[in-house]
């Protein structure tokens, strides 16, 4: 479930156009019961939600066969919210959140007892939401059930970290926010979810120091997937990964969009080689996105990853046919290989397939 804060001056006609689109699809598919159901249910939810300031009530779905079976036992039908595309729910919830006062917004979370994934695409630090998230007991129950928490571009890292500290069963944490990060708060939060986290995705303008990254990853014994990306110096993160033991690491992605200094190419090569070699025994997926001319030594390090199935190299060099063949021979499980030129419009320069490259 994604929580986004729309503008205060909402226009109902935008939502109406989406509902109308579903109706047109239903008209075009008269023999498609799913299209008919989605159009009707979306319309019903819309009428209940906007602009009447009420949460959607449970919608009863009718199954004739099931109804006949139940009628013999004289059991009454119970209501349920049917399955709709996430975009429909996100839009409805977005309108509710924009119009509801904070003290009533808790009803939305209380009405979602089975939600395990939460995305925030708005800043709560400058509103009463931040206080409610941290002090309201109804929110506590909601946070406790979450396994996936994502902070998207319009969110604030401190909000996401604060929420994550309420999630003792967290398995996936993504913070994709512009701005700076307080390393201390992140390390403090990792004491809560470190033992359960399997996926860590950090993308900032400025990444914490090598020491901070090392300390953070040391708290994650079950980590299987790591993505570290930002616009500034990537080497501290690479150095940290090169000196860590992560026995369950399967997927690694490192991204930087700043031009690398060619005067330090040997240092960069050594760091990347060390990072790959340190985790070669467990890696199944590797992605490097850097404005960097890939060296032969890095290719030799990649060849050590015998379990590698996916390889993405978005760098300043396209591999030769001979180099691709060497990779395939050294990594027999490799099935998908993508090679982009990082400083040009994205175009596949090598084969991308589900079979041998």
Give the tens place of pLDDT for each residue, 72-100: 444 444 444 445 566 666 666 665 555 55
pLDDT band at 20 (very low <50, low <70, confident <90, very high): confident
Per the domain annotation, does 309 fall within a domain?
Answer: no
Place of tokens 């809560």: 192
Count of domains in the chain? 2
b/e map 39-60, b = 16+ CB within 10 Å: bebbbebbeebbeeeebbeeee
97 with 198, same domain: the answer is: yes
Q: What pLDDT sits at residue 105?
A: 59
Over residues 9-14, mean pLDDT = 53
Query: 52: which 2 tokens?
Result: 């009447």
Which of 173, 204, 223 is the endpoint of a domain? 223
Per the domain annotation, does 160 fall within a domain?
Answer: yes
Give the tens place of pLDDT for each residue, 177-221: 766 677 888 899 999 999 999 999 988 766 666 688 889 999 999
Look over the chain and give the mean of its residue pLDDT values, rounded to a whole number: 75
Per DSSP, helices labelled H in the chain are: 12-28, 33-49, 64-72, 86-99, 102-110, 128-135, 137-144, 157-164, 183-193, 210-218, 235-242, 265-278, 296-302, 321-330
Query: 304: which 2 tokens?
Result: 């050590």
212 with 174, same domain: the answer is: yes
Lowest-pLDDT range of 66-70, 85-89, 161-165, 325-329: 66-70
Which of 223, 252, 286 is the endpoint of a domain? 223
146 with 216, same domain: the answer is: yes
Over residues 328-353, mean pLDDT = 71
Alpha carbon distance 355, 296 (integer Å)? 25
Query: 7: which 2 tokens?
Result: 């503008």
Contact 198, 226 (CB under 8 A): no
12 with 131, same domain: the answer is: no
109 with 186, same domain: the answer is: yes
Per the domain annotation, does 310 fall within a domain?
Answer: no
Alpha carbon distance 45, 337 (integer Å)? 44
Over residues 129-145, mean pLDDT = 62
Per the domain annotation, does 356 fall within a domain?
Answer: no
Q: What pLDDT sits at residue 76?
A: 43
Contact 118, 3 (CB under 8 A): yes
27 with 140, same domain: the answer is: no
Alpha carbon distance 60, 77 (integer Å)? 8
Place of tokens 């110096």: 233
Residue range of the domain that includes 22: 8-59
Whole-prediction pTM: 0.71
94 with 216, same domain: the answer is: yes
Q: What pLDDT sits at residue 60?
A: 41
Per the domain annotation, does 175 fall within a domain?
Answer: yes
50 with 134, same domain: the answer is: no
Regarding predicted confidence, which is higher, 172 or 349?
172
Per the domain annotation, does 344 fall within a domain?
Answer: no
Per the domain annotation, does 303 fall within a domain?
Answer: no
Res. 5: pLDDT tops 90: no
90 with 219, same domain: the answer is: yes
45 with 143, same domain: the answer is: no
According to DSSP, the residues that pair with 200 across neighbouring strands are: 173, 226
Alpha carbon distance 133, 106 (integer Å)? 9
Which of 198, 223, 248 is the endpoint of a domain? 223
According to DSSP, the residues that pair with 119 across neighbouring strands are: 2, 150
CATH number at residue 209: 3.80.10
Structural element, H or E, at residue 314: strand 310-315
Give the tens place of pLDDT for each residue, 280-314: 999 999 999 888 888 999 999 999 999 999 999 99
157 with 39, same domain: the answer is: no
- In order of 260, 286, 356, the CA distances from 341 in angstroms are 15, 17, 22
43 with 95, same domain: the answer is: no
Per the domain annotation, does 141 fall within a domain?
Answer: yes
Query: 120: which 2 tokens?
Result: 């925030």
């Amino acid at each position: 479930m994604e929580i986004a804060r729309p503008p205060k001056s909402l226009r109902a006609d935008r939502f109406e156009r989406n509902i109308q689109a579903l109706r047109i699809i239903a008209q075009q598919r008269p023999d498609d019961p799913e299209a008919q159901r989605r159009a009707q249910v979306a319309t019903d939810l819309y009428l209940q939600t906007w602009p009447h300031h009420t949460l959607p009530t449970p919608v009863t779905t009718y199954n004739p066969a099931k109804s006949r079976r139940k009628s013999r036992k004289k059991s009454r039908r119970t209501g349920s919210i049917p399955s709709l595309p996430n975009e429909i729910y996100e839009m409805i919830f977005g309108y509710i959140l924009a119009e509801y006062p904070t003290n009533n917004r808790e009803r939305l979370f209380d009405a979602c007892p089975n939600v395990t994934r939460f995305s925030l695409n708005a800043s709560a630090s400058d509103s009463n939401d931040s206080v409610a998230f941290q002090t309201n007991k109804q929110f506590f129950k909601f946070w406790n059930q979450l396994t996936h928490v994502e902070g998207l571009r319009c969110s604030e890292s401190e909000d996401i970290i604060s929420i994550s500290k309420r999630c003792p069963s967290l398995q996936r944490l993504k913070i994709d926010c512009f701005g700076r990060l307080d390393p201390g708060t992140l390390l403090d939060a990792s004491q809560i979810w470190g033992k359960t986290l399997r996926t860590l995705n950090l993308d900032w303008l400025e990444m914490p120091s090598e020491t901070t990254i090392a300390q953070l990853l040391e708290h994650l014994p079950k980590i299987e997937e790591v993505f570290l990306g930002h616009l500034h110096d990537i080497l501290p993160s690479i150095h940290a990964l090169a000196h860590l033991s992560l026995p369950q690491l399967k997927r690694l992605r490192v991204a930087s969009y700043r031009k690398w200094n060619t005067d330090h190419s040997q240092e960069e090569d050594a760091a990347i080689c060390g990072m790959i070699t340190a985790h070669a025994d467990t890696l199944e997926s590797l992605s490097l996105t850097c404005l960097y001319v890939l060296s032969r030594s890095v290719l030799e390090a990649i060849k050590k990853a015998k379990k590698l199935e996916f390889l993405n190299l978005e760098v300043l060099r396209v591999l030769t046919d001979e180099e691709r063949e060497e990779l395939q021979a050294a990594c027999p499980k490799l099935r998908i290989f993508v090679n982009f030129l990082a400083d040009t419009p994205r175009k596949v320069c090598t084969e991308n397939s589900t079979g041998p490259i």
